[in-house]
C-alpha cells in the first residue's frame, strides 16, 4: 500500500528533503505524513470587502485584482508596492524582500485570493508579504477555508520547507490514497458513537470546510487513537493474567502471622487492609501479579510492602525492594530491620557505596537463599546480583526508573528449584555431547546461511513474505543454538531436519535441543526435507495453526517452570485517573486513600520574602518546644540567570540567625559524598541538630517524626508534585506541623495557581489533577514514562471524556470477544496486530 512507502514516493520530495523531514519531524513513510496533524488552523471561512476593514491588526482574506505595481525608495533599499482593488475600494500589498522574483510572478488585472495580517497607517490599509493565489488555482485545489498550520522547526524553514509546502504534500498524498483508506473500527462502534468514516476524518482534519467538520474529524481520530492504546493495554493485561504464570503463595504462614499478631506496632487502616487483600488474592491465584500501589505521603505503603514480602518468605521465596536513591533505600532498610527485629528474617542492603567484601557476602547469601529480603538502589540490577528464587519485587517511586531498568529487575526471577536442576542436567548432557562457544556459533551462522538446503530455501521464500502476518528470522542464535527459523514475537521455532537427523545419536541430541529450547520458553516444531519440498502448502498451514495457538506474549516464558517475580510498583505521587488509564492501563491499581489515625493535617501558608524575620521567629518558637525544622532550597550554587536563594547563601544567613552553640545546623545536598550525606542525616535523625538546610535530595525517604516545620525557599521554582512531596516530610509525628512557602513578589499566573493549591488542600489526588492541567501529561510523567503518551492528536487531559469512552468500549469488546476473532471485529484485529508489532508498551513489567 502507498502508505507504507517512503515519503520520496510523493512528487516533489527529494531524498535530501526526506532526510530533513525525518530528522526534524520523524516523518519517514507516507503514513507518518498522513498522521502529521495541524496544531492550529487559520480560519478563512470569511471573505472581507476592503470597505469593511477595521484598524485592528487582524488577519483578513480578500478577493480582488492588482491594478498597479511600483518600487518605492526608502532609507535602506526599497520596497515593492502593489495597488490592490475590489468593488468597494483599494489598499496596498507590500514586500520588503524577494522583490524581483515577486514582481515577475505577479499578474495585473487577474483575480487573486489574498490573505495576511492587516496594517493601518495614516488612514490607509496594507498587508505586508501576503499569501496570494490566483482564484483559478484556488478553485482547482483540494482547498479548505480553514487553513491548517503544522509544527515546524528553524531548520525546515531555512531549507524552504514552508507550511504551504507541507500542506501541498499532504494534499497530493490524500488525493492518491483517499479511495483506498480502509476502515479500522467496527460498524457497531462507528454507529454507537456516530463517528464519521476514517477517510472523511483524514480529509477534514487536514482540509476542514468548517468548524463543525473539523470537530467531527478530530473526535473520530482522537477516539481511534485512544481506543487502540486502551485495547493494547487491556489485551496485554488479559494475557498477563491468563498466559503468564506467577508463583503461587498458598500459605499465610507462621512468619506473616507472627509479625501481624506480635510485631506490628499499630493497627492497619481499612484502606491498608483492603489493599493487602487485593495483593493476597493476586499472589494466590497462580497468575502473575502486576500491581500499582498508590498512596499519599505518610499513608503507610511501606508496611503493606513488608507484609507482601512476608507472604513470599512464608512460601519459600525471596523478596526485594528497589528505590531510586541511597537515602530512600537506607530509610527502607532501617524501617524494615526495626520492624522485623527479633524475628529470624535476614535483611540486607545493596547500594553503590557498599564495599566489595560486603558485596561478595550479599551475593553469596542471595544465591544460597539465606538472605530473605534485599533492599537496594540501581545496584540490584547488576548482572552479579542473582537470587535463588525471587518471588516478589517491589519498586518504590517507580517513575524514577526507566522501562529497561524495571525489566531487568523483572528478569531476576528464575526457574523453580526442580526446574533449575532438570535444566542444568539437560544442559550438561547437551554440552557434553556437542560443546560450543558463542564466537564459533556466529561463524557457523554465516556459514550455514551460505549452505541453505533446498527445503530451507523453499520455506524461507514463504516465511519472509510475511503472508502469515508474523516476522520470521532465519539462522538465528538462541542461547547456544543456531535455529533454522524463529518468530520471536510468538516464541515459535521451526526446524527442518535433513539427512543428518536420522541416526539414533542425532535424534537424541535433537530431543535434548528441543527440551532446552522449550525450557527457554519456545515452542519448537519440526519438519523433514520431504515434507517441505513435497507439500509446502500443508507445511505453511501447520505453521499458521501454531502461530494462532501460541501465546501473544512478547517475552519468552519458560515451559519448565520459569516464572517472573510478582511485581508491586509503588508511588507517593498520586496519579490522576485519566493518566493512570493511559500510562498504567495494563496494571491493576490499588489506592491507600486513608491516613493513619492520629495524623494531623499539615497547616500550609504562603509568605513573601519580606516576611522572613517573622518566619525566623516562628522557627525559634518551634525549636524551643523541642521541634526540628527543614529549610529547602532549589539550587546548590548561585546562578547569574536566576534570582533565587541558593543553598550556600541560605546556609550562611541561617547560621547568622541561629548561631552556635545554641543551635546546630545540618546541611545536605546531592554533590556531597554518600558517607558525608548519611552522617549529616543521622545527626538530624538523632536530634543532634535542630535545623536541616537541604536541596530536594530530601524529597523522599527522610522520616523524622520530631520535625514539625518545612520551609521551602523560592517555592515558585518548584512543581506541585515536588512541593507536595516536600510537605510530606513533616506531619509524621503527633504534633501539629507546618509548611511555609516562601517566594518573591514576582509570580507568574501558573506559580500563583501552584502556591494557592498547596495552601488550599493537602489531598494529593486533587493536587495531581491541578498539576496535570498545568503541565500536561508528557511533562508530568517525564520522558522515561512517556511511552504511550506520544499521542498524535489526542490529549489525555482535554480529551478525558473521549478516553473514558474509548476504554469502556475496549473493555466491553474484550469481554465479548477476547481474541478479536469475530468477523465483525476483523478490521479492529488487523489494526491492533499492526500497531502491536511496532508498539513498545512493556506491559508485563509495568
Torsion angle (degrees, nearest 10) of CA 59, 65, 71, 74: -30
Query: Cell 483559478 belongs to which residue?
Result: 136
- Strands of 44-170, DSSP E: 59-73, 78-86, 89-95, 111-117, 119-121, 124-128, 131-134, 146-149
pLDDT tens, position by position, 338-364:
999 999 999 999 998 899 999 999 999
pLDDT at 537: 87
pLDDT at 556: 35
Residues whose CB is less than 8 angstroms from the CB of residue 773 and which lie 6 or more positions away in sequence, other chains included: 797
- In this predicted structure, the answer to whether residue 136 has a pLDDT above a threshold of 70 is yes
Q: Take residue 698 and report the three cell numbers written for it.
A: 530530601
Q: Take residue 654 and report the three cell numbers written for it.
A: 541561617
Q: What end-to-end distance do the CA atoms of the chain give, in Å?
A: 35
C-alpha to C-alpha distance for 828 and 831, rounded to whole angstroms: 5
| DSSP output for 765-811 | HHHHHHHHHHHHHHHHH-GGG-GGG--SS--TTTTHHHHHHHHHHHH
Task: Please give the DSSP secondary-structure letter assigned to residue 669.
Answer: -
Task: Give the percent of the chain with pLDDT over 70.
Answer: 84
Judged by average pLDDT, the poorest of 315-319, 550-554, 624-628, 777-781 is 550-554
Residue 632 · residue 739 · CB < 8 Å: no
What would the mean pLDDT of 678-695 be, rounded to a whole number? 90
- In this predicted structure, the answer to whether residue 627 has a pLDDT above a threshold of 90 is yes
Query: Quick count: other Cβ atoms within 10 Å of Cβ 201?
Result: 23
Residue 225 · residue 793 · CB < 8 Å: yes
pLDDT at 285: 87
- In this predicted structure, the answer to whether residue 138 has a pLDDT above a threshold of 50 is yes
What would the mean pLDDT of 87-108 be, rounded to a whole number? 91
Give 58's pLDDT tier (boundaries 50, 70, 90): confident
pLDDT at 406: 61
Beta bridge partners of 86: 89
Cα–Cα distances (Å) from 420 to 40, 426, 515, 777, in that order, read: 59, 10, 13, 44
List, in order of start, the domains of the chain with CATH numbers. Answer: 1-44+144-180 (no CATH), 56-142 (2.40.50.140), 222-243+799-845 (no CATH), 254-283+300-414+564-571 (3.40.50.300), 423-549 (3.40.960.10), 603-761 (3.40.50.300)
Cα–Cα distances (Å) from 7 to 31, 149, 169, 203, 275, in that order, read: 9, 20, 9, 19, 51
C-alpha to C-alpha distance for 827 and 808, rounded to whole angstroms: 19
pLDDT at 440: 53
Beta bridge partners of 82: 69, 93
Q: Take residue 125 and report the three cell numbers written for it.
A: 490599509
pLDDT at 799: 84
Query: Cell 524551643 belongs to which residue?
Result: 624
Query: What distance lies between CA 87 and its chain's CA centroid?
Result: 57
Q: Take residue 166 and report the three cell numbers written for it.
A: 507541507
Residue 564 · residue 413 · CB < 8 Å: yes
Torsion angle (degrees, nearest 10) of CA 815, 817, 819, 822: -170
* Max mean pLDDT range (59-63, 272-276, 287-291, 569-573): 272-276
- 633 closest CA partner among 742, 731, 725, 779: 742
C-alpha to C-alpha distance for 709 and 487, rounded to whole angstroms: 59
- In this predicted structure, the answer to whether residue 303 has a pLDDT above a threshold of 50 is yes
* Max mean pLDDT range (549-553, 780-784, 808-812): 808-812
Q: Which residue has the higher pLDDT, 398 or 475?
A: 475
Residue 268 · residue 301 · CB < 8 Å: no
C-alpha to C-alpha distance for 634 and 696, rounded to whole angstroms: 7
C-alpha to C-alpha distance for 506 and 66, rounded to whole angstroms: 89
Largest CA distance in the chain: 103
pLDDT at 501: 64
Residues whose CB is less than 8 angstroms from the CB of residue 135 and which lie 6 or more positions away in sequence, other chains included: 63, 110, 111, 112, 113
Judged by average pLDDT, the poorest of 74-88, 565-579, 653-667, 712-726 is 565-579
- 127 closest CA partner among 164, 158, 86: 86
Cα–Cα distances (Å) from 60 to 66, 93, 113, 473, in that order, read: 17, 13, 11, 58
Q: Which helix (H) or strand (E) holds 708?
A: strand 707-712
C-alpha to C-alpha distance for 129 and 127, rounded to whole angstroms: 7
**264: phi > 0 → left, psi -120 to 50 → alpha, else beta; which?**
beta
- List, in sequence order, the alpha helices (H) in 403-469: 403-410, 417-433, 438-450, 454-463
pLDDT at 778: 53
Whole-number mean pLDDT of the chain? 83
- In this predicted structure, the answer to whether residue 488 has a pLDDT above a threshold of 80 is no
pLDDT at 418: 44
**178: phi > 0 → left, psi -120 to 50 → alpha, else beta; which?**
alpha
pLDDT at 782: 46
- In this predicted structure, the answer to whether residue 128 has a pLDDT above a threshold of 70 is yes
pLDDT at 143: 58
Cα–Cα distances (Å) from 354 to 147, 347, 674, in that order, read: 62, 15, 10
Q: In what order do the strands lie in the sheet with 481-487?
A: 473-478, 481-487, 492-497, 523-528
pLDDT at 514: 80
| DSSP output for 267-307 | PPPHHHHHHHHHHHHHHTSSBPPEEEEEE-TTS-HHHHHHH
b (16+ CB within 10 A) / e for 803-817: bebbbebbeebbeee
Residue 723 · residue 692 · CB < 8 Å: no
pLDDT at 768: 82
- 844 closest CA partner among 549, 517, 557: 557
Task: Give the percent of the chain with pLDDT over 90.
Answer: 39
Stated length of the chain: 846
pLDDT at 834: 82
Residue 556 · residue 520 · CB < 8 Å: yes
pLDDT tens, position by position, 387-442:
988 999 999 876 666 555 666 777 776 544 444 444 445 444 444 444 444 455 55
Amino acid at each position: 500500500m502507498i502508505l507504507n512507502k517512503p515519503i520520496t514516493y510523493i512528487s516533489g520530495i527529494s531524498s535530501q528533503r526526506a532526510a530533513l523531514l525525518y530528522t526534524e519531524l520523524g516523518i519517514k513513510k507516507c503514513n507518518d505524513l498522513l498522521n502529521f496533524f495541524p496544531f492550529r488552523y487559520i480560519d478563512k471561512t470569511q471573505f472581507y470587502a476592503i470597505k469593511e476593514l477595521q484598524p485592528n491588526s487582524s488577519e483578513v482574506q480578500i478577493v480582488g485584482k492588482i491594478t498597479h505595481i511600483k518600487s518605492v525608495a526608502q532609507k535602506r533599499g526599497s520596497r515593492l508596492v502593489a495597488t490592490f482593488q475590489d468593488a468597494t475600494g483599494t489598499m496596498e500589498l507590500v514586500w520588503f524582500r524577494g522583490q524581483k522574483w515577486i514582481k515577475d510572478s505577479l499578474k495585473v488585472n487577474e483575480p487573486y485570493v489574498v490573505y495576511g495580517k492587516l496594517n493601518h497607517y495614516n488612514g490607509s490599509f496594507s498587508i505586508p508579504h501576503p499569501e496570494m493565489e490566483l482564484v483559478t488555482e484556488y478553485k482547482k485545489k483540494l482547498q479548505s477555508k480553514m487553513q491548517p498550520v503544522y509544527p515546524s522547526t528553524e531548520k525546515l524553514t531555512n531549507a524552504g520547507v514552508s507550511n504551504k509546502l507541507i500542506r501541498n504534500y499532504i494534499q497530493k498524498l490524500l488525493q492518491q490514497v483517499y479511495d483506498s483508506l480502509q476502515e479500522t473500527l467496527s460498524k457497531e462502534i462507528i454507529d454507537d458513537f456516530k463517528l464519521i468514516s476514517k477517510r472523511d476524518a483524514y480529509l477534514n482534519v487536514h482540509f476542514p470546510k468548517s468548524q463543525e467538520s473539523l470537530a467531527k474529524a478530530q473526535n473520530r481520530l482522537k477516539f481511534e487513537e485512544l481506543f487502540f492504546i486502551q485495547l493494547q493495554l487491556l489485551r496485554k493485561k488479559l494475557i498477563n493474567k491468563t498466559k503468564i504464570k506467577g508463583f503461587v503463595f498458598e500459605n499465610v504462614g507462621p512468619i506473616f502471622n507472627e509479625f501481624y499478631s506480635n510485631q506490628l506496632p499499630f493497627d492497619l487502616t481499612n484502606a491498608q487492609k483492603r489493599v493487602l487483600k487485593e495483593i493476597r488474592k493476586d499472589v494466590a491465584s497462580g497468575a502473575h501479579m502486576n500491581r500499582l500501589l498508590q498512596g499519599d505521603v505518610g499513608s503507610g505503603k511501606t508496611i503493606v510492602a513488608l507484609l507482601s514480602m512476608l507472604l513470599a518468605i512464608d512460601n519459600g521465596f525471596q523478596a526485594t525492594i528497589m528505590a531510586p536513591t541511597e537515602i530512600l533505600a537506607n530509610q527502607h532498610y532501617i524501617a524494615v530491620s526495626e520492624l522485623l527485629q527479633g524475628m529470624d528474617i535476614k535483611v540486607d542492603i545493596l547500594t553503590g557505596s557498599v564495599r566489595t567484601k560486603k558485596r561478595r557476602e550479599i551475593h553469596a547469601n542471595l544465591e544460597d537463599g539465606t538472605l530473605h529480603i534485599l533492599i537496594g538502589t540501581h545496584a540490584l540490577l547488576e548482572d552479579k546480583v542473582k537470587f535463588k528464587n525471587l518471588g516478589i519485587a517491589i519498586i518504590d517511586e517507580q517513575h524514577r526508573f526507566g522501562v529497561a531498568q524495571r525489566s531487568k529487575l523483572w528478569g531476576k526471577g528464575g526457574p523453580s528449584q526442580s526446574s533449575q536442576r532438570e535444566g542444568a542436567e539437560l544442559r550438561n548432557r547437551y554440552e557434553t555431547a556437542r560443546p560450543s562457544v558463542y564466537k564459533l556459533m556466529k561463524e557457523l551462522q554465516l556459514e550455514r546461511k551460505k549452505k541453505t538446503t533446498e527445503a530451507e530455501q523453499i520455506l524461507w521464500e514463504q516465511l519472509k513474505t510475511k503472508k502469515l502476518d508474523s516476522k520470521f528470522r532465519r539462522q538465528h542464535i538462541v542461547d547456544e543454538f543456531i535455529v533454522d527459523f524463529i518468530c520471536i514475537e510468538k516464541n515459535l521455532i521451526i526446524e527442518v531436519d535433513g539427512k543428518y537427523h536420522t541416526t539414533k545419536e542425532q535424534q537424541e541430541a535433537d530431543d535434548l535441543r528441543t527440551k532446552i529450547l522449550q525450557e527457554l520458553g519456545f515452542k519448537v516444531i519440526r519438519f523433514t526435507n520431504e515434507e517441505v519440498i513435497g507439500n509446502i502448502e500443508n507445511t505453511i498451514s501447520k505453521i499458521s495453526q501454531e502461530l494462532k495457538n501460541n501465546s501473544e506474549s512478547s517475552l519468552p516464558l519458560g515451559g519448565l517452570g520459569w516464572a517472573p517475580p510478582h511485581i508491586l510498583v509503588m508511588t507517593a505521587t498520586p496519579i490522576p485517573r485519566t493518566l493512570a488509564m493511559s500510562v498504567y492501563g495494563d496494571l491493576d491499581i490499588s489506592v491507600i486513600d486513608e491516613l493513619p489515625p492520629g495524623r494531623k493535617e499539615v497547616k500550609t501558608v504562603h509568605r513573601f520574602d519580606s516576611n522572613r524575620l517573622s518566619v525566623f521567629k516562628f522557627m525559634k518558637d518551634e525549636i524551643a518546644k523541642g521541634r526540628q525544622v527543614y529549610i529547602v532550597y532549589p539550587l546548590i550554587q548561585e546562578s547569574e540567570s536566576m534570582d533565587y536563594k541558593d543553598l550556600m547563601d541560605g546556609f550562611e544567613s541561617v547560621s547568622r540567625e541561629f548561631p552556635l552553640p545554641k543551635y546546630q545546623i545540618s546541611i545536605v545536598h546531592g554533590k556531597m559524598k554518600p558517607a558525608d550525606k548519611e552522617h549529616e542525616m543521622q545527626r538530624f535523625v538523632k536530634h543532634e541538630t535542630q535545623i536541616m538546610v537541604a536541596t530536594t535530595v530530601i524529597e523522599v525517604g527522610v522520616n523524622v517524626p520530631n520535625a514539625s516545620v518545612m520551609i521551602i525557599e523560592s517555592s515558585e521554582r518548584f512543581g506541585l508534585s515536588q512541593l507536595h512531596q516536600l510537605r510530606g516530610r513533616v506531619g509524621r509525628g503527633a504534633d501539629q506541623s507546618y509548611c511555609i512557602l516562601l517566594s518573591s513578589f514576582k509570580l507568574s499566573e501558573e506559580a500563583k495557581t501552584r502556591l494557592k493549591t498547596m495552601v488550599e488542600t493537602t489531598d494529593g489526588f486533587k493536587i495531581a489533577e491541578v498539576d496535570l492541567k498545568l503541565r500536561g501529561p508528557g511533562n508530568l510523567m517525564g520522558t522515561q514514562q512517556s511511552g504511550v503518551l506520544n499521542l498524535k492528536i489526542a490529549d489525555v487531559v482535554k480529551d478525558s471524556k473521549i478516553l473514558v469512552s474509548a476504554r469502556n468500549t475496549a473493555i466491553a469488546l474484550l469481554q465479548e470477544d477476547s481474541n478479536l476473532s469475530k468477523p465483525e471485529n476483523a478490521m479492529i484485529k488487523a489494526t491492533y496486530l499492526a500497531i502491536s508489532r511496532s508498539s513498545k508498551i512493556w506491559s508485563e513489567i509495568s
